[in-house]
Structure 1
């Protein structure tokens, strides 16, 4: 991935437009206009619209992975603290990088095979962190059930917050993460 500041800014603007219009309805002309450049200049930074989509998803997924790893590093080592840290990190991802996250959730299926193959390792690495934390929580008898189902349930619940969560509402991300962990953990 090209990490130039200009490309990052163009990627951020593309994510916003993909959320507003959807990938299929977004044209190269619309992207260029949103980015404040001529259509032809867009191809100085990206080969095509497909590469823009891949860049949006790659940056968003990489940011989620970075936040999750940092949260786990800073967390207490017990399974409950680690579970809470992952939930909070996921919510932080949604709040700091909402558009890229929404694009990754809803437009992944639009990636061509090459881009999907390239990006799958990032998605798998993120899910592996969750699986590790959930395996520890299950082993500690904090969470019960099939880990694959629990993982899909938890990530589905967290991902759905992009639709309804209001950061100015009655719960801050810390409280929301706490509530989720309370819902899925066993009480002694």
Structure 2
């Protein structure tokens, strides 16, 4: 399938509709109407609704992975700086690509087996970055616990912010990331 700017725009519109209506309640007719095209024209860009869902999650996960990698490259090489960079990057992803992130969180289970297999490497790569950063923080004694559980706990806390965080509110993503890391690390003496 093509990777045109139009297809990417249609993918973003689909993400918005999936967030508003849910994947199951979203019809092809609704998608076409939201996209400003005829239902038949939708199939010029996508085979079916399942492919649209896969494209939304793929684009969102690729963006999250790119933002995380850039954040790690730009930060100091200390475990604390890397942990903070990952938390901030995750929050940035939520703010810049919120709909795709919400769809990935809540509609992953709607993917068919082929789509899940296709996307698993991206999800695994993102989680591996977290495992690496958390592993380094554990090794340095910055945090304590099981690497898998700490990674899941932190990602869960960050993912839940899509439900309550207000970008127009009093805390910036930077401050929120700093607070989260402060909660899981012992105070400096």
1:170 deviates by 1.1
Which whole-Å deviations, capped at 9, do the CAs of 1:82-102 have from their partners, x for residues lacking one? 000000000000000000000
| 1:32-111 equivalences in 2 (<5 Å) | 32-111=32-111
Q: Match of 1:175?
A: 175
Query: What is the alpha-carbon distance in structure 1 between the residues aligned to residue 86 and residue 4 of structure 2?
Result: 29
CA distance in 2, matches of 1:2, 1:102: 24
The Cα of 1:168 is off from its aligned counterpart by 1.0
Contact preservation (8 Å) 1:18, 1:26: yes
Corresponding residue of 1:29: 29
The normalised TM-score by structure 1 is 0.99
CA–CA distance in structure 2, aligned partners of residues 3 and 66 of structure 1: 18
TM-score (norm 2): 0.98
Q: CA deviation at 1:35?
A: 0.2
Q: Distance in 1 between matches of 2:92 and 2:2?
A: 24
* 1:143 aligned onto 2:134: no
CA distance in 2, matches of 1:17, 1:78: 41
Structure 2: distance between partners of 1:76 and 1:8: 34
Indicate the residue corresponding to 1:117 in structure 2: 117
**Which secondary structure does the structure 1 equivalent of 2:3 belong to?**
coil
Shift of the alpha carbon at 1:186? 2.0
Q: CA RMSD in A?
A: 0.8
Q: 5+ residue gaps in structure 2? A: none
Tell me the CA shift for residue 161 of structure 1: 0.3
Q: 1:141 touches 1:186 (CA, 8 Å); kept in 2? A: no
Would you identify which runs of 4 or more consecutive aligned residues in structure 1 move more than 2 Å? none
Structure 1, unpaired ranges of 5+: none
